[in-house]
Amino acid sequence: GWGGPPQPPYGGGGWGAPAGPPAGKPRRRGGLIAAVLVAALVAGGVGGGIGYWAAGQDDTASTTVSASGDPQALNRKPTSVSGIAQRALPSVVTIDAQGAGGEGGTGTGFVYDKQGHILTNNHVVASAADGGKLTVTFSNGKKYAAEVVGRAQGYDVAVIKLKNPDDATLTPLPLGKSANVAVGDATIAIGAPYGLSGTVTTGIVSAKDRPVASSDGGGTNASYMSALQTDASINPGNSGGPLMDASGNVIGINSAIQSAGSGGGSDPFGGGSQSGSIGLGFAIPIDQAKRVADDLIRTGKPIYPQIGVQVGMRENSDGATIAQRGNGGTDAVTPNGPADKAGLKPGDKITKLDDTVIDSGPTLISEIWQHRPGEKVTLTYERDGKQHTTKVTLGQRVGDS
């Protein structure tokens, strides 16, 4: 397993990986997957036949034309995919995580600042967080030992730092604004799919604000994000790598895919046996990831906004219903918590957060987690067949435990 998220910030409730996409708004949750790379040469027979035919021909009358060899003719402008990749690759690293018990795997990260901080996914480094070993490899082949600065299981974000970065070339990737991204914008992903470091793929932003619940495949741990969806090809090993825009600015952290073999559920990159990319990739928006990373660098712990309720997490319906009773007989609405102060009660069905339709518990979490503690949001809910609205000032929980 790659580790998992905290206890629900709403006071408890089922965190199990959803069995399928939520109903209501046309949104889909993604899958976190892994598979085995198998490549085979299949053109042997055809190649042999062509070779025999060509050997028997007169090649003295060839009319082929050679290229001029002028590099300028290739038009590798700084704003081209090639130009962006050449600038970004030295700042993208491959992360090898080895746990104390021998478990581990490979993922991706990128240089966050000149102090040697690397931004990546929690599930990439979780196996090495307690007594394990982290090794970071740059595109020039140089390797550095690293340590975990902080992890946010619920956000699936982690920050690590090089232990001895003195001779490392640290050029932080420029961070864009994921809030300004539009559907159809070009995307560039860099990572190490199946260990193939420095792989560059392209696509577009297929959707925004896609609620994604991803787990380690065990059904007990989950992370939630309101993701950027892209059709850029990403696979196991791309986890933690940058998703960039057409200017080379980071707009997200590649974290999950929906796989044809995942049965609609979610598993982290690096575990399981499902198939690879089918063009449904999901990235944590950089606006959220930056806020989480800064908290981790400053305090070593994540900060989660919360409203203080327990909601159903498995049902796919037209809202997120507050439970009648919490786990272990606790109150489903935390006494004197944000929701309690706003007048919410057990059985209320939350259907909107500000202008965003809420179609399930995971969607509610992913939307709340885009905000900061102390911010005010408007919740629309149904009670006894009637619709109501109320303003809630978000509370907070520090840490994953």
Q: Please tell me the distance from the alpha carbon of residue 246 to that of residue 82, in angstroms, as a whole number.
A: 11
Q: Please tell me the distance from the alpha carbon of residue 146 to that of residue 108, in angstroms, as a whole number.
A: 13
Segment 275-279 mean pLDDT: 77
What tens digit of pLDDT does each residue of 45-96 get? 444 443 344 444 555 567 787 766 666 656 677 779 999 999 999 999 999 9
Query: What residues act catalytically?
Result: 123, 156, 239
* Average per-residue pLDDT for the chain: 80
The whole-number pLDDT of residue 232 equals 95
User: How is residue 61 annotated by DSSP?
Assistant: T
The whole-number pLDDT of residue 278 equals 85
What tens digit of pLDDT does each residue of 115-140 get? 999 999 999 999 898 889 999 999 99
Query: Class assignment of domain 178-285?
Result: mainly beta
Q: Please tell me the distance from the alpha carbon of residue 155 to that of residue 284, in angstroms, as a whole number.
A: 8
The whole-number pLDDT of residue 246 equals 95
Local confidence band at 324 (pLDDT 50, 70, 90 cut-offs)? confident
Q: How many whole angstroms from its chain centre is CA 23?
A: 22
The whole-number pLDDT of residue 129 equals 87
H helices of 95-233, in order, are 122-125
Tokens of 66: 């050679």
Residue 197 has pLDDT above 70, yes or no: yes
The whole-number pLDDT of residue 87 equals 95
Local confidence band at 401 (pLDDT 50, 70, 90 cut-offs)? low
The whole-number pLDDT of residue 58 equals 56
This prediction has a pTM of 0.79
Task: Give residue limits of the domains in the chain.
Answer: 178-285, 302-398
User: How is residue 11 annotated by DSSP?
Assistant: S
Q: Which residues lie below 8 Å from residue 92, measured CB to CB, with a gap of 6+?
A: 108, 109, 110, 111, 139, 173, 190, 191, 198, 241, 242
Q: Please tell me the distance from the alpha carbon of residue 193 to that of residue 184, in angstroms, as a whole number.
A: 24
Nearest to 347 by CA among 320, 308, 314, 387: 320
Query: Class assignment of domain 302-398?
Result: mainly beta
DSSP string of 76-97?
A: --TTSHHHHHHHHGGGEEEEEE
